[in-house]
Chain A
């Protein structure tokens, strides 16, 4: 079945269910943790899709990924995990939680931004950037994240919602290298 249609249906159902139970925020936080686990733990997706792993083990695995020990998982999310595994849709969990996060952010008018710099940025600068971004995105509140990555050499990379401003020295050097090699590429 189409991954998008399926994920959207599950995500909408989860969102409505969580809203009815009043724990949509908690589910959102759990989705955030789980969404970070997928790119970090490469084997998570493979394990979830493996027929050799039992349904109980898969449930425990997702619960463990959401909260240490798997104890504080919200009832809505717990039911969701059970449903997904029972319907053998474990392979779509990543896509479903991403869509859920989008649905939640849209309903609460939350803007997302991430600033990557080579050296730490002072707090008041971050606050100003966050406020400016919030106004620009017409958001009620902002989820502002920062990252220090010395590999970018200098400048900054600023991601907000689905957009990126890449003003890092690293990217600019790469761009210059690409343009120069494109013009001079020749096998002698």
Chain B
């Protein structure tokens, strides 16, 4: 035993804990296990069980009620199937499946039931609030239009597909195209908000991933100081399908805790394709009728009710305080002005966005960021296909300076991608097309960004100004990266107050543009 631990203190702690132990005897409703197979258990009895209620077996294993029938209930196991035997007694707990959410969750890795998985002991320090996993989304009158930006720190996204707080923006693409990288960079970029005392709390939900992948992600977040304001909810590939199905709901419940207490939160569902597969598995074992691609009929509702919970809550306190379906633990604690932004991720097969789940989620969300394998392989990273990526509501949330600078960028880049395809066949091009291609090539290079390297919005605006105003015309394409580095260094050293701080506030005036032009010209000279 460690020398620093005093035996008397340990005894005192144990004494206190023993005093607070609840050893009351209660009457519980019981049922008998009729059948158990493939993670689903059928229990005879439990006549008063509620949908989504947590039930417990005599050996401590748990399950969630999914099918309510006249004399029996179908429940999905949260543990191993071989631990449950026919004839076992199942007991109602009276709890609808929920998660205890609070500040002490920050920096922790938990499972969908809120149990810590990182070996750092129980969640302590601070009150925990019981948040139901299934909850109705806020109604229309409790919402506000998306009008505040959520900076991802990625030039391509903040300029062309801006995301607002409360928005649901889908990240979609094949495997190995950088979907998770965008999400992780966005989390890392919230560090500045955290340091400024206006944090955007992040919840990263890993569904059906390898434990090693989740561990690597947590390590990365920790390395960049992002775990201070992040909660990781993990249901790995080896976990039962029920846990994988509930993981995004657990993430949403934690996010709602921050949202409803007037804070801003960002939840990333990585990924919903795997959740859909887990739900399909559960539904098929429960013998629910299957539809297209063997998914159950309510697969759309599964995703729509999850994503609908992302919202910007109205700032008027008197209205917000009357929000619908507030959990009892949060009664009287609701604050307006909070938001929950959702970044669901969907993995496509061979770039097919017309498959069942991708089309469903595309139609639910407020836009999508489509990642292209070809672009990724060409070295354009983030590999965003500008042509089919869109943000339906984020434009209103963009800061003024960014809007001014980048308004033409998306359409120019889309045109460039089409023109480039034409010029690949050879032949001469007219000067206007040549100019568009020249600009497009440089802007494409300019929008490339290294992983784990999100940049502040003021720097994004400054560098994009150079791209959209043709200041890179004379620079060879391979020197664009050098230009960007020198340009931003110069601004940081010489023009922090008169340029960067103004841009951060969203102001771009003649004096700022003059300095930007002048600085760019001097760097261009230096490079050439």
B8 within 8 A of A: no
Interface positions, chain B 89-114, Cβ under 8 Å from A, are 89, 91
Q: Which of A2, A8, A178, A187 contacts B119 (CB 8 A)?
A: A187
B512 CB to nearest A CB, Å: 54
A-side contacts of B42, CB under 8 Å: 3
Q: Evaluate contact between B29 and A102: CB separation under 8 angstroms.
A: no
- Supposing A183-B122, A186-B121 touch, asked if A165 and B21 sit within 8 A by C-beta, the answer is no
B-side contacts of A185, CB under 8 Å: 116, 121-122
Q: Which of A7, A45, A162, A182 contacts B30 (CB 8 A)?
A: A162
In the complex the two chains form, what is the Cα distance from A147 to B213 in whole Å? 51
A-side contacts of B116, CB under 8 Å: 185
B206 CB to nearest A CB, Å: 20
Q: Evaluate contact between B17 and A183: CB separation under 8 angstroms.
A: yes
B70 within 8 A of A: yes
Segment among A19-27, A56-64, A93-101 that sits at the interface with chain B: A93-101
A-side contacts of B25, CB under 8 Å: 165-167, 172
Segment among B44-52, B350-358, B371-379, B484-492 that sits at the interface with chain A: B44-52
Q: Evaluate contact between A178 and B60: CB separation under 8 angstroms.
A: yes
B-side contacts of A165, CB under 8 Å: 25-27
A48 CB to nearest B CB, Å: 13
Q: Evaluate contact between A8 and B44: CB separation under 8 angstroms.
A: no
Q: Which of B23, B35, B44, B71 contacts A175 (CB 8 A)?
A: B23
Chain A residue with Cβ nearest B44? A98
Q: Which 5 A-B pairs have the closest CB atoms?
A: A39-B87, A187-B119, A186-B121, A4-B69, A164-B30
Chain A residue with Cβ nearest B288? A2
Interface positions, chain A 134-188, Cβ under 8 Å from B, are 159, 162-167, 172, 174-176, 178-180, 182-187
- Supposing A42-B86, A159-B30, A162-B29 touch, asked if A172 and B119 sit within 8 A by C-beta, the answer is no
Question: How big is the B interface, by class?
Answer: 35 or more
Q: Evaluate contact between A94 and B30: CB separation under 8 angstroms.
A: no
Q: Evaluate contact between A162 and B27: CB separation under 8 angstroms.
A: no
Q: Evaluate contact between B91 and A180: CB separation under 8 angstroms.
A: no
22 pairs from A and B in contact (CB 8 Å cutoff): A2-B287, A98-B34, A98-B44, A98-B71, A162-B29, A163-B27, A164-B27, A164-B28, A172-B23, A172-B25, A174-B60, A175-B21, A175-B22, A175-B23, A176-B23, A179-B22, A180-B18, A183-B17, A184-B17, A184-B122, A186-B120, A187-B119
B163 CB to nearest A CB, Å: 37
If over half of A's interface residues share one DSSP class (helix, strand or loop), that class is named, otherwise mixed; here it is: helix
Interface string of B483-523 (1 = CB under 8 A from A): 00000000000000000000000000000000000000000
- Supposing A3-B42, A165-B25 touch, asked if A95 and B72 sit within 8 A by C-beta, the answer is yes
- Supposing A38-B86, A183-B17 touch, asked if A163 and B30 sit within 8 A by C-beta, the answer is yes
A-side contacts of B45, CB under 8 Å: 162
Chain A residue with Cβ nearest B48? A162
- Supposing A162-B47, A167-B25 touch, asked if A94 and B34 sit within 8 A by C-beta, the answer is yes
B248 within 8 A of A: no
Q: Pick from B18, B72, B116 the residue with the most CB of A within 10 Å.
A: B72
B-side contacts of A2, CB under 8 Å: 69, 287
Chain B residue with Cβ nearest A7? B71
Interface positions, chain B 110-143, Cβ under 8 Å from A, are 116, 119-122
- Supposing A163-B30, A176-B21 touch, asked if A4 and B70 sit within 8 A by C-beta, the answer is yes
Interface positions, chain B 265-312, Cβ under 8 Å from A, are 287
A-side contacts of B30, CB under 8 Å: 159, 162-164
Interface string of A1-35 (1 = CB under 8 A from B): 01110011000000000000000000000000000
A155 CB to nearest B CB, Å: 9
In the complex the two chains form, what is the Cα distance from A174 to B34 in whole Å? 25
Q: Evaluate contact between B71 and A8: CB separation under 8 angstroms.
A: yes
Q: Evaluate contact between A162 and B89: CB separation under 8 angstroms.
A: no
A184 CB to nearest B CB, Å: 8
Q: Evaluate contact between A180 and B17: CB separation under 8 angstroms.
A: yes
A-side contacts of B166, CB under 8 Å: none
B31 within 8 A of A: yes
Q: Which of B17, B91, B120, B121 contacts A164 (CB 8 A)?
A: B91
